[in-house]
Amino acid sequence: MAHLFIGEVLTHGGTAVDATAGNGYDTLFLTRQVGPAGRVYAFDVQEQALLKTRKLLEEHSLAWQVTLFQAGHEEMDRLVCGPVDAVLYNLGYLPGASHELITQPETTIASLRAAIGLLSRGGRIGLVGYPGHPGGEAECNAVIQFASCLDHALYSVIKISMVNRAGNAPVVILIEEGSR
Amino acid sequence: MAHLFIGEVLTHGGTAVDATAGNGYDTLFLTRQVGPAGRVYAFDVQEQALLKTRKLLEEHSLAWQVTLFQAGHEEMDRLVCGPVDAVLYNLGYLPGASHELITQPETTIASLRAAIGLLSRGGRIGLVGYPGHPGGEAECNAVIQFASCLDHALYSVIKISMVNRAGNAPVVILIEEGSR
């Protein structure tokens, strides 16, 4: 659903940020969306994640379209020249790596503030959170709390929850600059 | 979002049901999706709604693709020959008509059961509910309760809520036949 939502506004020539490069699948999706005339910026604090992301992009001959930053996503307003059409977050830990190194509520909220500041008119943010791992629920609650307080005259915010799953199922938050 | 979700699986030659024809906009959307080789069935208990729907379809020269039933949507399993790829619901009252005539929890749940029975493999149901009018909240709660109890091994169910709006903002329930 996050890809569907982002794909609607992120077209050829657009600019996008993958806040959490991880294994690179979201970066690949964004890069395909913007095409050769577009630009993608991807963040991760772990070198291992950026190496995997670069490898995946190289396999698809798309690495030249992407700028990789080994930095926290909360630094995106310092490192990315806006406006950007879309920002994607996939919170939690790097699949296959240590579960101790996880995204944190403070930096995630700081990053969301930065992302909102970079967003173009009609731009969108898609975020997937995971309440199932230690610390994950607190982070998801912080994101929902932050998103709930965004002025509805300026931002449309929706939450997607899987109602026939256990309470620790992933949650998706989608933010659009502009009201409906 | 309901249209995005339905549009992913409802393609040319498909079969769809508009459970609540209303002013016909959902019927028009479904009819465009299935194209000339597809078929759409639309239900409404109010003649006024079906007349408006037919007029809208005629303006787009698409009326011949649609079967209109002046009947409750809970009768769809008796009147529609399945399988169907998509079913859309827009609950509440007919815009511009009496607010006293509203969809009811009992028939809406019976209709959802019928819709699930008609659904093809991978088929989808999209429902928009309105907690804001008298009786609306009880109906939305009944739908969420029903959807929460669907076996997650057989159905994917998501709820979309507008988290930075008042509690009476519309709610969207999306059901897919098949687990993820």
Q: Which of A87-101, A136-150, B12-26, B63-77 has the lowest mean pLDDT?
A: A87-101
Instruction: Find the closest chain A residue to B162 by CA distance.
Output: A158
CA–CA separation, A30 vs A33, rounded Å? 5
CB pairs under 8 A between A and B: 64
Place of tokens 């890809």: A3
Residue spans per domain, chain B: 2-177
Global confidence as pTM: 0.88
Residues 6+ apart with CB under 8 A from A94: A22, A23, A44, A46, A48, A49, A101
Query: Given this model, what pLDDT does residue A180 score?
Result: 61
pLDDT exceeds cutoff 70 at B180: no
The CATH number assigned to the domain with range A2-177 reads 3.40.50.150
- Show the CA angle centred on residue B68, arms to residues B63 and B70, nearest 5°: 150
Q: Does residue B43 register a pLDDT over 90?
A: yes
Contact between B163 and A148 using a beta-carbon 8 Å cutoff? yes
| pLDDT tens over chain A, length 180 residues | 899 999 999 999 999 999 999 999 999 999 999 999 999 999 999 999 999 999 999 999 999 999 999 999 999 999 999 899 999 999 998 888 888 888 889 999 999 999 999 999 999 999 999 999 888 999 999 999 999 999 999 999 999 999 999 888 999 999 999 866
Q: How far apart are CA B70 and CA B43, in angstroms?
A: 6
* Contact flag B159-A155 (C-beta cutoff 8 Å): no
Residue carrying the six token digits 């890069």: A31
> Which SS3 state, helix, strand or coil, does residue A143 take?
helix
Statement: residue B179 has pLDDT above 80: no
Interface with B, mutate which of A140, A164, A173 (most B CBs under 10 A): A164
Interchain contact A51–B (C-beta under 8 A): no
Task: Locate A141 and state its tokens.
Answer: 């609650």
Please check whether residue A42 is in contact with residue A53, taking contact to mean a CB–CB distance below 8 angstroms: yes
Lowest mean pLDDT among A132-136, B43-47, B144-148: A132-136
Question: How many residues comprise chain A?
Answer: 180
- Put simply, the answer to whether A157 touches B163 (Cβ < 8 Å) is yes
**Cα–Cα distance, B160 to B29 (Å, whole number):** 20
Between positions 122 and 161 of B, the ones with CB within 8 A of A are 144, 147-152, 155-161
Predicted local distance difference test score (pLDDT) of residue B95: 84
